[in-house]
Structure 1
Amino acid sequence: MAISTEIPQTVQWQGKKVPVYPMETIDFSRLLSQEPAELERLVRCCQDEGYFYLDLQNIDGRRMLDDQQETLKLMHRFFESPLEAKNEFGLVSPHLGYEPVGSRTGVLANTKDGYEMIKVSRDEIQKSSPHIPAVIKNSPDIKVLENAIAGSNIVTKAILSGLSTGLGLTGASRFENSHRNDRPSTSTLAMMHYIPSDPAKDHNIGHQKHTDISSLTLLFSEQWGLQIRPPGAREFGFVEPRPGTAVVNVGDSLRFASGHTMQSCIHRVVPLDPLEHRYSIAYFLRAENATMFTDSEGRHITAGQWHDEKFFAFTSPPELQALAPSSMILGGMTEEDDEVAPVAAAPAPVTVNGLKETAVGA
């Protein structure tokens, strides 16, 4: 499946028209049924582009959409709490705990990130007393988190299984056999709140460009802000939020496990509406910590080691990021020459298909 050259719409951002890139849609119900044509499309999406929409509107996927709405309610309660309540345990480990705004590098030069995040790992939620701030540790909230993590794990495992079958993998070589539920991993549910920010004057802006550490990322967001850079593209473009769907992208671990035949999706998050609070939910399915693969530097490395090294790079200042292997932040993916977007003096109106909108989001 070649990269589409058709750009059906654009969005005005930072004084220029930015493309809204098209995405293939995979039907979750057909994926569960292992329909050959759907599996073929799934494999092509992962090998050619590294991302796709997952349609969850059928009866098999609707529960995940319900879980998303319940998780959003929990997130509003959590992020509206005082900082000391949110930061009760701090960052327990790279895949568990709270990160305040400004913990990482921002999307624009000389900025820090513009989001706060609470992470709950799959391994942790199964413990009798998980390290979760008390403000969301009551019984109803625990059940919301359990449902969201369990449902996301089922969905991403179904995708892995479909990829294994579509590629003709058997036995121990199937991808899901390095993602077993009873083995330690850093699989994590991350809930993110992006604060209102204006690139023309603020110093906490978005989420820097990167590829994910994960094998697969299952992302829910009802609001604009996610940008991707398809293989061979010269610029970032927006992803349209579509009701009833999640965005799925390939991460580094699956790229490595596939012998570097799958594309790890380069993406970032920018503030489209400078007055908007933006919320997103991401489940990162990651390989068992002891899984061995060969990274883009030719090193034989475990999934756990890759996770820790890349997390350190993520949270390091730009001068330390520059000392990391060139393949670390982008997982070995290459880019054409960057086009640096100018910083607009004032927020520009959002335009979709030529129509000005006063607000962008679902």
Structure 2
Amino acid sequence: MLQNNTHKFFIYAIISSPTSIMGSLSPSTFDDQISVASLKTINFALLEKKDRSEVEKLLAACISAGFFYLDFTSSSAENLPVAKKTLLEVMKKYFDQPLEKKAVDSKGVTTRGGSFSAVNRDRPNESFEHLAIGNYELLQNPLKTLPIIFQQAGDLVQTYVSTCEHVVDVMLDCLSDILGLEDLRQYHLHNKPSDTILALLSYPGELTHQKHTDVGSLTVLFSDQWGLQVIAPESGRWEWVEPRVYQAVINVGDTLRFFTSKKLYSCLHRVIREGRASLEGHRYSIAYLLRPDNDAAFVDADGARTTAKDFVDAKYHIYSAPHDEQQTSNILTGGMEQILGVEA
């Protein structure tokens, strides 16, 4: 149980590290005997042009690991990695504030802050901070939605979010075309209420994220530090996801799998602070989490018809539930443990 001096709120982020010519971070010298995942790298500029071979490559990644890198070179989103670096600097200023000052930004809503997102002054190694900036709320009222430090950064957040909107729209268009489906974007209209968020996350201690699949459709993630692991479909074993400075990690979430009649794989992943990740300091990550419009309907992993809003609420509940309760439902892992044949 958290103490009275514990505050709850949300956020995702990143810090700079030495980079190689290729834009990957310097490899850790820690040999933890865990392999680095061989994820595909997709060229976003070619996706914008609907290049057939690149779209096929995108589909192959989405029906296997459900995880891949996205390279923005020479695309209309080329500045996204640069904006990420600037956003990180603002985030660090935000998280460096006293807890009392950050606590006023709590929205009092589960999907904008929850029991699993907390800072305990007495147990700093078992806490993290999570600030969720709602996509729809940002569009409606930026001044009410953004903490003052982010307002002082001008249109940084708005530009970052609008770029991410374009990125996910292009991927949804490409997947719709190659799968012969009706437009997947119809379930993800950015001007309709949804739980799509820009998530800014700060891990000052050792707390990690348990195994899970993402609740939404697509995640655009930047993190410059080791810690993220994914289940390899071929072996059923955990593998490291190499952090890259100039490329985002993209993963398929539960609802996109459901909207495609389970043709795509929702990626089973986790964040840990062991092995090579134990050498990292304060960990930050920035994630744009695309989720369907609240009223979008689909059939979930248990065969029940539900709406996106109800599904998100159920998943957030299970995130913070006792482990015994987590094991009674497919919600936490999206049914992917059964698909992969593992109990990770």
Give me the TM-score of the superposition, normalised by structure 1: 0.79
> What root-mean-square deviation, in Å, do the aligned CA atoms of Structure 1 and Structure 2 show?
2.3
Q: Amino acid of the residue matched to residue 167 of structure 1?
A: L
| 1:359 equivalent in structure 2 | none
The alpha carbon displacement at 1:126 in A equals: 1.8
| 1:181 equivalent in structure 2 | 190
The alpha carbon displacement at 1:288 in A equals: 0.9
Distance 1:333 1:318, change over 3 A: same
Counterpart Cα distance in 2 of 1:130 and 1:21? 41
| 2:170 equivalent in structure 1 | 158
The alpha carbon displacement at 1:94 in A equals: 3.0
| 2:54 equivalent in structure 1 | 38
**What SS is found at the alignment partner of 2:289?**
strand
| 1:263 equivalent in structure 2 | 265
Distance 1:62 1:297, change over 3 A: same
Contact 1:193 1:280 in 2 (8 A): yes
The alpha carbon displacement at 1:11 in A equals: 7.1
Structure 2's unaligned 5+ residue stretches are 1-26
| Residue 90 in structure 1 maps to residue 106 in structure 2 | yes
The alpha carbon displacement at 1:60 in A equals: 2.3
| 2:144 equivalent in structure 1 | 130
The structure with the largest helix share of the pair is 2
- The C-alpha deviation readout for 1:326-358, integer Å capped at 9, x for no partner, is x1100010254557xxxxxxxxxxxxxxxxxxx
The alpha carbon displacement at 1:279 in A equals: 0.9
| Residue 243 in structure 1 maps to residue 239 in structure 2 | no
**Number of equivalenced pairs:** 307
Counterpart Cα distance in 1 of 2:212 and 2:204? 20
| Residue 311 in structure 1 maps to residue 316 in structure 2 | yes
- The C-alpha deviation readout for 1:284-332, integer Å capped at 9, x for no partner, is 0111111111111110111111000001111223243234x1x110001
Q: Amino acid of the residue matched to residue 316 of structure 1?
A: A
Map of 1:252-331 to 2, 5 A cutoff? 252-271=254-273, 272-274=277-279, 276-323=281-328, 325=329, 327-331=330-334
The alpha carbon displacement at 1:69 in A equals: 1.1
| 1:190 equivalent in structure 2 | 199
| Residue 119 in structure 1 maps to residue 132 in structure 2 | yes
Bigger relative CO (Cα 8 Å, ≥ 6 apart): 2
Contact 2:65 2:265 in 1 (8 A): yes
The alpha carbon displacement at 1:61 in A equals: 2.6
- The C-alpha deviation readout for 1:186-208, integer Å capped at 9, x for no partner, is 110001111243xxxxxxx3111
| 2:18 equivalent in structure 1 | none
Contact 2:297 2:308 in 1 (8 A): yes
Structure 1's unaligned 5+ residue stretches are 1-9, 103-111, 198-204, 340-362
- The C-alpha deviation readout for 1:159-181, integer Å capped at 9, x for no partner, is 11111112123xxx211111112
The alpha carbon displacement at 1:83 in A equals: 0.6
| 2:97 equivalent in structure 1 | 81
Contact 1:50 1:265 in 2 (8 A): yes
Distance 1:117 1:125, change over 3 A: same
Please say which of residues 117-126 and 266-275 is displaced more in the overlay. Answer: 266-275
Contact 2:126 2:205 in 1 (8 A): no
The alpha carbon displacement at 1:89 in A equals: 3.4
| 2:24 equivalent in structure 1 | none
Map of 1:209-248 to 2, 5 A cutoff? 209-248=211-250
**What SS is found at the alignment partner of 1:62?**
coil
Corresponding residue to 1:100 among 108, 118, 122: 118
Counterpart Cα distance in 2 of 1:189 and 1:133? 13
Q: Amino acid of the residue matched to residue 189 of structure 2?
A: R
**What SS is found at the alignment partner of 1:78?**
helix
The alpha carbon displacement at 1:16 in A equals: 4.3
The alpha carbon displacement at 1:59 in A equals: 4.2
| 1:201 equivalent in structure 2 | none
Q: Percent identity?
A: 32
